[in-house]
Structure 1
Amino acid sequence: MTLKKNLQKLIVALLLVHCFQSASAQKAVITNPIVPGYFADPTIIKDKGIFYIYATIDPWGGKELGVLTTKDFISFKTEHINWPTKAACTSPTSNNSMVWAPSIRKATDGKYYMYVAVGSEIWAGVSDKPLGPWKNAKADNTPLIAGNAYPGVHNIDADCFIDTDGQAYLYWGSGFNWVNGHCMAVKLKKDMVTFDGTPVEITPPHYFEAPHMVKRKGLYYLMYSYGKAIDSTYQIRYAIGKTPFGPWMEGKDDPILSTDLSHKTTGPGHHTVFTENGQYYILYHRIHPQDKEYVLRELCLDSLNFDTKGNILKIKPSAGVKPFAH
């Protein structure tokens, strides 16, 4: 009888070990794509241990943004926010009212600010919390940048950058018909919606859209996408400057991320960069393999690294990265 009980205990223990090992194996990496579903143009913030990912819902935007929350990039929860929506953000200058390509930042006043494309114009929202409630940051409930504000510039893909001294900047701009991309930039006043000066064009070499600013060791890295978002030409590039407005020196190993069929990666682009435990990460979208008349995209995560001279190393698309240590 005792032998039988011991055998039963041993079997239970072995099953528990097996289950634990299986669970650990499943969480050995953060897999790509990081979440089921079709999303693009991600931005990310972290608040009280939770990552908030805001993104375009494919195909080509919806009546609201996609919002995902996670603590570990393994388990995700889908959230909904009240702003922006097609009903709340429309104007005669917008060629459509699809919501896409957000940028969210926590400002020095402790509030969260969202810069998002609605059609072909940029709107600014404000909230006390990452999930809202949100409202238009402009008292008159108008777009921050109208669709016809700057001739030749497709006024989408805004990115807010807050420097180490607390000064905020806004970058945005694309081109039309997949050519002649323009990158605009301006300082923001403390209210985060008033321009401190006149916007200027700072377009770096081989730029089309999706600017994203990163500062590291006193250098400014203006990162961006080039090519067509609908095919394999889409790629991520960067340029380095000593000020938030340049002038720019094209990245040494450009493009740093591009189509790599051996790693099932087509048309990677429109990314954001963040750090966790001292490591830089790049969150971007790639084209999901499909036979569709339109493009569906999915979110991926990879490590971002630098050489000793400050150049960004080429990124090899991976199946995933190691889980974040807590």
Structure 2
Amino acid sequence: MKLYFKNQLGLMAAAIMLVCCFTQTNAQVVSSGAVNGKKLNPLLPGYFADPTIKKFGDTYYIYATTDNIMLASGAPTVWYSKDFENWYNYKMDVPAFTAESLVNFWAPDIIQRNNKYYLYFGNCEMGCNIYGYVSDTPVGPWRKLNAHDKPVISHNYPREGFPSLDAQFFTDTDNRVYGYWGTWVHYNGGYAVGELITPGMDSMQKAKNIPLVQTPKPFEAPYMIKKGNKYILMYSGGSCHDETYNVRYSYASTPYGPFKEGANNPVLSTNADKTVHGPGHHSVLQDGDDYYIVYHKHDYPMTRGGLSRQVCIDKLVFENDSTIKAVVPANTGYINPSKVKPPQNIALNATATASSAYHLKMPGTDYEYAAALATDGNNATLWKAGNNTLPQSLTIDLGSVKRIRRVFTQFEFPSFYYQYVLRYSADGKTWKLFADRASNRMPGSPMIDDNDVKTRYIKLTVTGTEKQGLYAAVWNMKVYDKLFDIPLPIKNKNSVSAPALRSGHNILLDINAADMPAGKPFASVKNKGTFGGLMYKTGNVTIEKDETGVTAFRFTKGALSALKPVPQTLAWNGAYTVAAWVKAPVVAKEGSCLMSWCNRNVMRLANSYNAMYFNSGGYGAAGHLDYHFDMKYNHVPAANEWHYLVLTFDGMTERIYVDGVEDNAQMMTLSSAINGAKFIIGASDEGENYNGYMASLKMYDYALSSSDIKKQLQLTKPMK
């Protein structure tokens, strides 16, 4: 589906730049726990990308794009750790522009200088620019460097049309600070380099483009390091849409070049078994004499669109000052640079059971989010409940009665709150309260709960979530028999958002042309679903009998629309089903929207828009504002025949059924923008009219199963 940004060309460009996606790959085996004493990649429990890693004092910090939320547009957060194993997530206070909160916090970087910390990141709310902030601490609170939201690096700098994103800053041995930026540079004339004006740290000078020939096969994400007297410009090449994404480098004798391609390129790429898929957009940590490359890769199983990325780390080795050895990435293989010994997790690899577990079955993928994945100490795996209804529970068996002082719970989305209760039991029958977070509104990872009990079993019961449709899902639960210091004395603020509503398992819309007299004019149609009300006609919609005698709505550049707003149960990641009996005289190549229920004018970012279509193009079945996320029909239904088309989303997987048979499926996370939206049948919120017959349409606020769909196929078949 097309990106509908109209005059927001900068935002459109950013959307294209930041969408890293690929086709579903074959199933892979993900091992758990530590292997040969080495800790497992990914490094962080969550979906984060474009990482910048720094060490300030004795604490490590990772600043990253928050992924898996509206085109990687999650909240600005920072991760910090002293032991490099237990990472803590903090939602930073970064003043917004025109909105209540930042819409984009892309590819952040940070500089420590003169006892101040300077934070820079890309944002495309007012053109694609790099903005700067300053604080007295590495975690904020942050103040704007420039008044009137003036960028540090503006769009069209250093030349017209150049997108200012993916900026990284490098402080030379003479204390000068240089910036390197650019994305889609193979279309935009090469990376840009300039000098940051100090002491203000708020603007650039002497900027120019680096000729493309000096950085072969570039894409985005430049990163400068210095080794001896050589300036090594690392960058991401290939295509972020697939496994060709990689890290390359060139080197020079000055910060401005000229640069010469390095040996061993690419130095980081997808490994042979594809357990590390599409690695790139990195930073480098120098800790003593050792170097580490910190980068993101795609998650597994793969979320459609490739924006559920995870942060990994591997050793970076130099042959000499201008030559980097190729990195061999793995899910089992980083060396912890910290000398701080982490506390012992006594629940590691403990037996775990759950109320349910999601079993993902699609072509090429057969994967269970089993309870045991919550105790394997692996940030690549998580337990996820079988559906997004609540409550759901996870129980850990420690094997014997032990003293418990602290429990860490790492939920799937650190920047949203979860409501839960922890209970304990010595025998698995009689349960007592360990911690009551049933009214919690504080996000974070890990959630930390302290007590002092002797027990064998710990049970987590998730009772609520901040966002609609989120699953009870946990990367890791860690249990400790001792208390220990947390690196920073900070806590996340409570969210002002109320907990998400629960689905009523309702038929929201139930429209049937057979209830209306054929051939007579009408202004509205009664909705028999629980949403109630009337669907009002706009444009040309008639009630006719087709040539086979079936009574149907005949859409010819018309629509049926509700006046009431779409209910909150369909917000964000809420589950749904749309089921319609349709016959199109001609199958359109694009457009032809059967139903829409989101508002493109609220948030024009991929996955914030959902609509059902009937066309032969890339968004033939479902549109989400970007073809990387849209879903087509694998077998386009034939023209001029009646078909039962059903689109379902269970909060995890989107599926399209044609005449009772699943035709396509993809794993998704949505962030549906329903504010101000209305139900529209026969068109989208921007036209895209369906021209053809529709005998009936139903919309549910939950996902029908395949067996349910087969039953409804028989029960709702239009009568002649």
TM-score band, normalised by the shorter chain? 0.7 to 0.9
- The answer on whether the counterparts of 2:232 and 2:322 sit within 8 Å (CA) in structure 1 is no
1:38 maps to 2:47: yes
CA, structure 1 residues 122+225, in 2 after alignment: closer, same or farther (shift >3 Å)? same
Paired residue for 2:108? 102
Deviation at residue 291 of structure 1 after TM alignment: 4.4
CA separation in 1, counterparts of 2:268 and 2:260?
Answer: 18
Counterpart selection for 1:323 from 312, 325, 336 = 336
CA contact (8 A) 1:30 1:73 kept: no
Cα separation, 2, equivalents of 1:89 and 1:246: 42
**Which amino acid in structure 2 is aligned with residue 163 of structure 1?**
D
Question: For residue 268 of structure 2, what is the amino acid of its counterpart?
Answer: L
Counterpart residue identity of residue 130, structure 2? I
Determine which of 192, 211, 229 is the counterpart of 1:218: 229
Matching residue of 1:238: 249
Structure 2: distance between partners of 1:309 and 1:215: 8
| AA in 2 matched with 1:31 | L
1:72 equivalent among 65, 83, 96: 83
Separation in structure 2 between the aligned mates of residue 54 and residue 253 of structure 1, nearest angstrom: 28
2:146 to 118, 121, 138: 138
Aligned to 2:59: 50
Letter in 1 for 2:328: K
- Give structure 1 stretches of 5+ with no counterpart: 1-23, 91-95
Distance 2:95 2:72 in 1: 12
Distance in 1 between residues matched to 2:104 and 2:281, nearest whole Å:
17
Q: Cα distance, 1:324 vs. partner?
A: 2.3
User: Counterpart of 1:243 in structure 2: which amino acid?
Assistant: T
SS at match of 2:273: helix
CA contact (8 A) 1:27 1:74 kept: no
Equivalent residue for 2:195, pick from 183, 187, 203: 187
Distance 1:200-1:310 versus aligned 2 partners, 3 A rule? closer
Letter in 1 for 2:167: A
- 8 Å CA contact 2:65–2:74 kept in 1: the answer is no
Deviation track 1:146-187 (CA, whole Å, cap 9, x = no partner) reads 3344333221000011001110011111127x8446311111
| Structure 1 residues 1-326: aligned runs within 5 Å | 28-59=37-68, 60-83=71-94, 85=96, 87=98, 97-107=103-113, 109-119=114-124, 120-149=128-157, 150-175=159-184, 179-180=187-188, 182-190=190-198, 191-197=200-206, 199-203=207-211, 204-262=215-273, 264-295=275-306, 296-308=308-320, 310-318=322-330, 319-326=332-339
Q: Take 1:88 and 1:195, find their aligned partners in 2: how far apart are those partners?
A: 26
Aligned pair count reads: 295
- Alignment RMSD (CA, Å): 2.4
Q: Answer whether contact 1:64 1:85 (CA < 8 A) is retained.
A: no
Give structure 2 stretches of 5+ with no counterpart.
1-32, 340-720
What secondary structure is seen at the aligned counterpart in 1 of 2:204? coil
Q: Summarize the Cα distance change of 1:308–1:128 in structure 2 as closer, same or farther, 3 Å threshold.
A: same
Q: How far apart are the structure 1 equivalents of 2:40 and 2:46? A: 14
Contact persistence 1:186–1:195 (CA under 8 A): yes
Contact 2:194 2:208 (8 Å CA) reproduced: yes
- For normalisation by structure 1, the TM-score amounts to 0.83
| Structure 2 match to 1:10 | none
TM-superposed CA distance for 1:71, in Å, is 1.1
Q: What is the CA deviation profile of residues 7-63 of structure 1, one whole-angstrom value per residue up to 9, with x for unaligned ones?
A: xxxxxxxxxxxxxxxxx9689323201122111000022122111100001133224
- Deviations along 1:194-245, one digit per CA (max 9) or x if unpaired, are 3233x10014222211010000111000000012222111100000000001
Higher relative contact order (Cα pairs below 8 Å, separated by 6+ residues): 1
The whole-number CA distance in structure 2 between the counterparts of 1:233 and 1:89 is 38
Q: In 2, Cα distance between the equivalents of 1:309 and 1:188?
A: 25
| 2: CA distance, partners of 1:231 / 1:103 | 25
**If you compute each CA radius of gyration, which structure gives the higher value, 1 or 2?**
2
Report the identity percentage. Answer: 37
Q: Secondary structure at the match of 1:196?
A: strand
Deviations 1:263-301 (A, max 9, x none): 611111000001113100000001112343321111100
Counterpart CA distance in 1 for 2:319 and 2:96 is 42
Larger displacement relative to structure 2 (116-125 or 297-306): 116-125
